[in-house]
Structure formats: C-alpha cells, structure tokens
Amino acid sequence: MEQKNIITLITLVIIYIFNFSIYSDSASERKKIHIYVTPSSAYIDNLNQKTSVIGSSDQYLTLMFGLFDNFYLGLSYTNANKNRERYANTSPLYFRQSQLEFNRRSEYFTGEKLILKSQFFFWNNFYTSLNVGLEKGYKINENLFSTNMNNYLVIQPYQKTTIFDDRAFGSIGIGYRKEFLSNFIIGTELEFGYLGARKVNKHYTFDPGYSTSLLNRYLITKDINEDRNGSARNYHFFSIYAGIAI
C-alpha cells in the first residue's frame, strides 16, 4: 500500500509540473534567496538488494542562496524526535519486558541531519544537485525489569546500551523548482545517494549471578535492525517542497 501511495504522489507532481508553462526563469527573474520546507518525502533503502525498505521522512528546512546566475548554495536541516517505547517479548517458557528509548525513525535514515546542498539550473527550471551531509548518531537504552518462569516473578538486573556514532552521506540529484506569484516556489527532487558505515558500541551492565543465562536472553530479544543501522548502503530519496523566494 505504501509503494502505491508513493507512485501516486510522484504521478501527481509530474502532472502538476506539465500543466504549467515550463519556461526558464532568467537570472533577473529568479530570486537570490529560496527558503522552503519539505513536508512530503519518501526514502527507499537498499535498492541493490531484494529486501528494500521504504519509509517516510521527517520535514526538512532548506535555505538556498544564489551565488551566480544559475548556481545556488545552501543548507538543509531536519531534527527527528526521540521516542520512548515499552514492549514485551514472549515465548512458552520465557517472558521479558523491556523499555527502549531511542530514535526509531533513524532506522529509515531520518535522524537529525545537516546537509550542504548545491544546485545548478542547467535548463529552464530544471537543476542538478550535489549534496554532502552528516547524520547524527543516537543511543538505545534497554533495561530488563523482570522475567516470569513457571509463574514465578524474578527481577533480572540487566542493562544494555548501544551507541551508534555519527556518519556521513552524499548524493547527486535532479530536480525542478519554479517561482510563481512573484514570491512563492514549488519543486520536487530525486536523489541517488550513498550512506556511509558507522561504528556501533555496546555496553552491558548486569549481575554476575544471572550471567549464565544472559546470552540466551539476548539472542531471543536482540535489538531491532541493529546491523542495518550500522552498515553502509545506497539509497534513493524523493521529495516535494514549497516555500518563498526573496
């Protein structure tokens, strides 16, 4: 269903663009400062693998400044919110209740990011882009409160902290941006990028009295998408944005 929504969104944008007269904004007509927000975007992960991941992204705020006639340079920023979640994992002989505090949306490459963007208008309102950015790392805290085995409640003092370091990424893209009604802009862009690998550090705190069964509990309830969040990969990123021109 989510793939169909993305395809529908892309189709509507293409229809919108070609319903307008596609003429080139000359250097004198195109404003020097473009400020726009990306309220709608789609991120497609691991395109070279069969197990692709498709997710929606956070909003981006972008500021672009026209250095030359058709060349813009600027910054884009997004800040994801942290989520606190409780979950339970059960098996016939085992019950576990944990609490996770982490940025779940970072699984889909939507953590806090700062991006340096450059755009060159090569024909009419179409442009190419080169983007380099940094994704901020995040931390997962996992606390084991209790287990229930054979109807006996036992407190299990155990904590695991996983720290994901910052990582760099880069992309090239092609987009379309048009000014209308003097001070408004609308546009869309498709990026092809590479997300670098990052270090993953794990820290454990537990009572040695329970250490004999710690490994088994860890294997049963291992962290969600941990390996994927640390590895390098290719991605595609499609966005639609709107804003003002000054």
Encode pLDDT of 64-98 as tens digits. Answer: 999 988 999 999 998 865 444 443 444 433 444 44
Q: H-helix or E-strand containing 4?
A: helix 2-19
To the nearest whole number, what is the mean pLDDT of the chain?
71
Q: Containing H/E element for 184?
A: strand 184-195
End-to-end CA distance of the chain: 39
Distance in angstroms (rounded) separating the CA atoms of residues 6 and 148? 44
* Distance (Å, whole) CA 129 – CA 113: 17
pTM given for the model: 0.67
The Cα–Cα gap between 220 and 96 comes to 10
Beta strands in 47-183 (DSSP E): 53-56, 60-66, 71-78, 83-91, 94-102, 113-123, 126-135, 138-149, 152-164, 167-180
Query: Given this model, what pLDDT does residue 75 score?
Result: 96
Query: What percent of the chain is predicted at pLDDT more than 90?
Result: 27
| pLDDT score, position 104 | 38
- Pick from 9-18, 142-151, 199-208: least confident: 9-18
Q: Is pLDDT of 162 > 60? A: yes
Judged against a pLDDT cut of 50, whether residue 121 lies above it is answered with yes
The average pLDDT across 123-129 equals: 93
Q: What is the mean pLDDT of residues 173-177?
A: 95
Q: Which residues pair with 120 in a beta bridge?
A: 71, 128
